[in-house]
């Protein structure tokens, strides 16, 4: 790899802690970080949960996706990447400096395909299965519907199939899983994508380092919008 010519991320004596959600979002995040010239974790980390970059200026926490906002709010991580669904459901108090161009999907209400399509305001205490009880309760409350929210942690589509729930609220990307289980999307609740979040104190106390990460990511995103403009060497 070519050495990166941009100045290194300033650590101020301590590395920036970045919480990554295990799985595809982490892979996409590291691809973006590499393209932006940000230090990546060293190789051969095995099953370690805290990964340090070669220069020691960034340290990555490999976390369960739903835990990322908690790590960031409490200052265990200075920055984090998660989906907007995870962040809104958690209700954690963090800064949101940058939306990222991946992790696209939507949070939607779905029902059995053979269920009569009635306006929500006419529903009488529907049972709704979901992994997102807070967002689901907010959605129905805003429409004056007294729904019974049933929190599940596995396949939410099972709810209507076994008589546990009348409706579900879940993430939808292509809709193929809904269709395979006899369900149809009836209303979109919110659009989802990945977001960079920052601890409020770290944003000020480590401002130089935090802003350098944000600025490099913003520059790379502008380059993606305009490929003819080279901002950073991708072979960092």
Q: Where are the beta strands (DSSP E) in the chain?
A: 16-21, 50-52, 58-63, 79-83, 95-99, 105-112, 127-130, 148-151, 167-172, 183-192, 194-198
For the stretch 57-69, pLDDT in tens is: 999 999 999 999 9
pLDDT tens column, 12-55: 568 999 999 999 999 999 999 999 999 999 876 678 999 999 88
Q: How confident is the model at residue 227 (pLDDT cuts 50, 70, 90)?
A: low
Taken in order of first residue, the domains within the chain and their CATH numbers are 16-103+193-225 (3.40.190.10), 105-192 (3.40.190.10)
Q: Which pLDDT belongs to residue 204?
A: 95
10 Å CB burial of residue 194 (0-12, 13-18, 19+) is buried
Two tokens, residue 109: 């209400």
> What does the CA dihedral 109, 110, 114, 120 come to, rounded to 10 degrees?
-10
Answer whether residue 125 shows pLDDT above 60: yes
Query: What value does the mean pLDDT of the chain take?
Result: 90
Q: What CA–CA distance (Å, rounded) separates 27 from 117? A: 40
């Amino acid at each position: 790899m070519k050495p990166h010519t941009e100045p290194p991320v300033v650590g101020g004596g301590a590395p920036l802690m970045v919480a990554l959600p295990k799985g595809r979002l982490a892979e996409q995040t590291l691809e973006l970080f590499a393209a932006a010239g940000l230090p990546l974790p060293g190789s051969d980390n095995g099953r370690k949960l805290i990964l340090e970059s070669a220069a020691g200026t960034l340290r990555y926490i490999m976390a369960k996706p739903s835990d990322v906002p908690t790590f960031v709010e409490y200052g265990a991580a200075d920055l984090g990447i998660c989906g907007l669904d995870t962040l809104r459901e958690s209700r954690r108090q963090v800064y949101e400096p940058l939306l990222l161009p991946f992790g696209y999907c939507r949070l939607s209400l779905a029902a059995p395909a053979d269920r009569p399509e009635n306006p929500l305001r006419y529903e009488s205490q529907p049972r709704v299965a979901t992994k997102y009880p807070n967002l689901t309760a907010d959605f129905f409350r805003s429409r004056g519907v007294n729904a019974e929210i049933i929190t599940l942690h596995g396949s939410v589509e099972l709810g209507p199939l076994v008589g546990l729930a009348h409706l579900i609220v879940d993430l939808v990307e292509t809709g193929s899983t809904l269709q395979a289980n006899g369900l149809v999307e009836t209303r979109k609740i919110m659009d989802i994508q990945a977001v960079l979040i920052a601890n409020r104190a770290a944003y000020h106390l480590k401002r130089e380092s935090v802003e350098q990460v944000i600025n490099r990511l913003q520059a790379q995103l502008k380059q993606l919008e305009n490929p003819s403009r080279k901002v950073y060497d991708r072979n960092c």
